Amino acid sequence: MTQAVELTDKEAFAHVAKCVKEPGAHLENPLTRLSAQRVWTGHNEHQHQCYWNDRFVAAVLCGMDLQYQRIAAWAVVSNGLSSYFEWTTHYGYDMATALKYLGVIPEDFDLGPQQCYTRLDFEICEAIVKKFNLPTSRFGRGNLTDEQQEDRQELDSHYPKFSHL
């Protein structure tokens, strides 16, 4: 018989921070996805768009299902295009770690001077779009098929502001 695990917000957010410090090391730990889910739902999905930066790090580094990662990637690229991207998220997660883990930026990537909110380099946005096959006509991807348009509407329905994608 499996015992239900109770996690406080503090424990869940701390576990995700542990996953950020050691990417890939905790994917088999049952607390990892549970913690990521707590971070995901702990913000109330349609709160301010900056919290999507936290969700992206949790989704990627805690191995959430691909659809969660795609939704968060959509939001992060939207944030990057509208100057709401954060290299250090509200909860202190290192966005560069997640992007390096995905192979979107190189290990020796220089962040330069960091600001609270910033615009994300076009090339990095484009790399995230390609990595997650996000449905957008930007970045020279051309017109969307009906299926891609439906996918776009689904992804965009989670983002609380106008998306530039």
Tens of pLDDT, residues 103-143: 999 999 988 767 788 999 999 999 999 999 999 878 777 78
For residue 141, the model assigns a pLDDT of: 75
Domain range list for the chain: 9-156
Question: CA dist 129 to 70, 135, 154, Å?
Answer: 9, 8, 15
Predicted confidence at residue 110, as pLDDT, reads 85
Specify which residues 127 forms β-bridges with. none
Identify the band that residue 163 occupies on the pLDDT scale cut at 50, 70 and 90. confident
Mapped onto helix, strand or coil, the DSSP state of residue 71 is: helix
Rounded CA-CA distance 128/164 in Å is 14
Report DSSP letters for 30-61, one per residue: HHHHHHHHHHHHTT-TTS-TTHHHHHHHHHHH
- In this structure, how many other beta carbons lie within 10 angstroms of the beta carbon of residue 142? 9
- pLDDT tens for each residue of 40-72: 988 665 577 888 999 999 999 999 999 999 999
d(CA 97, CA 6): 28
pLDDT digits (tens, 9 = 90+) for 8-25: 989 999 999 999 999 999
Q: What mean pLDDT do residues 73-94 have? A: 93
Encode pLDDT of 88-100 as tens digits. 998 999 999 999 9
